[in-house]
A and B are shown apart, each in its own frame.
Chain A
Amino acid sequence: MSTQEKKPLEKVCMICAKGSLEDVYATLVMANGAVMEGIETKVFFTFFGLDGITKKTMNQLHTATTGNPAMRMPGGLPFPTVLGGLPGVESAVSSMMRKQMEELDMPPVDEFLEMITAGGGEIYACKLAIDMFKLTKDDLSDEVSDILTIGQFYELCDGDRTQIIFT
């Protein structure tokens, strides 16, 4: 057996720059998982990722039905791109995805954010993107602790055993 000392992660910093259902959930699952493991966790939402923490959009995120080669019909057949472009298809597919996640006890985004902050995780929004999309702090989930520049976020990411993950 190796005598080398184990050096567990102490802090995880995540940056979510995309706003599709799966991008936001990947971030939330990893962030919540880190909090549950006792790892200090900070998440920075920027650009379209802001949809994941904006009150109006966060519980209605979509998964792309066009330009998504991994998209399958129920049963496993390829999902024709032409079909994906029809009105309503993306909404229907997205709500089906949400339903399947709910079955695995994955909460809606607002509740997921609450779970992360309940365990001490911190949620931040990117100042540049907030200005660009003309949003204010009031548009964001109450779980968002602050609006930061990327420089301020990097300052929070100090420490030897810290990892930054970009999703």
Chain B
Amino acid sequence: MTEKTIAGIQVKVLEDGYLEDMSQWNEDIAKEIAKEVNIELTDKHFEVLNFLRDKTKASETLTIRSVGKSGIVTIKELYQLFPKGPLKFSSKIAGIPKPTSCV
């Protein structure tokens, strides 16, 4: 675990860049992390991020299937929003732990 300054805020991050404490997250932090993986966040991205954060707060295991059934995006759109890492990158940008599900 290391301390890192993202968008002017001191946050705790784990080895691979995931926030340790999801309550330290805000939209500016999200935009900074998104830049690292070359993603420019839109409103649609934030809808997904907020969905992921809500599910995480409710202690639900996240899968891309559950995001696909959320009514926010289809799985195909999820891949378009977060290329090459629909769950991995979206979780990182949402400030929640690295996904542990295989689906």
Contacts and interface: CB of A to CB of B under 8 A. Distances in A.
Interface residues of A, number: 16
B70 to A, nearest CB: 13
A40 to B, nearest CB: 10
B101 interface: yes
Given A36-B86, A38-B84, A119-B75, A105 B66 contact: yes
A104 interface: yes
Contacts of B102: 29, 33
Contacts of B61: 105
B64 interface: yes
Interface residues on B, range: 10 to 19
6 contacts: A36-B86, A105-B103, A107-B103, A115-B64, A115-B65, A119-B86
B75 to A, nearest CB: 4
Contacts of A38: 83-85
Interface of B: 61, 63-66, 68, 74-76, 79, 83-88, 101-103
Contact of A36 (B66, B68, B74, B87): B87
Given A33-B102, A104-B103, A105-B63, A118 B88 contact: no
Interface of A: 29, 32-33, 36-38, 104-107, 111, 114-115, 118-120
Contacts of A37: 84-85, 88
B103 A118 contact: no
Contact of B79 (A104, A106, A119): A119
B65 A36 contact: no
Given A104-B103, A105-B63, A115 B87 contact: no
A120 B76 CA distance: 9
Centre residue among B68, B86, B103 by max chain A CB count within 10 A: B103
Given A37-B88, A107-B103, A115-B65, 17 more contacts: A29-B103, A32-B103, A33-B103, A36-B64, A36-B86, A36-B87, A37-B84, A105-B63, A105-B65, A106-B103, A114-B75, A115-B64, A115-B68, A115-B75, A118-B76, A119-B76, A120-B79
A165 to B, nearest CB: 15
Contacts of B103: 29, 32-33, 104-107
Nearest to B61: A105
A119 B68 CA distance: 12
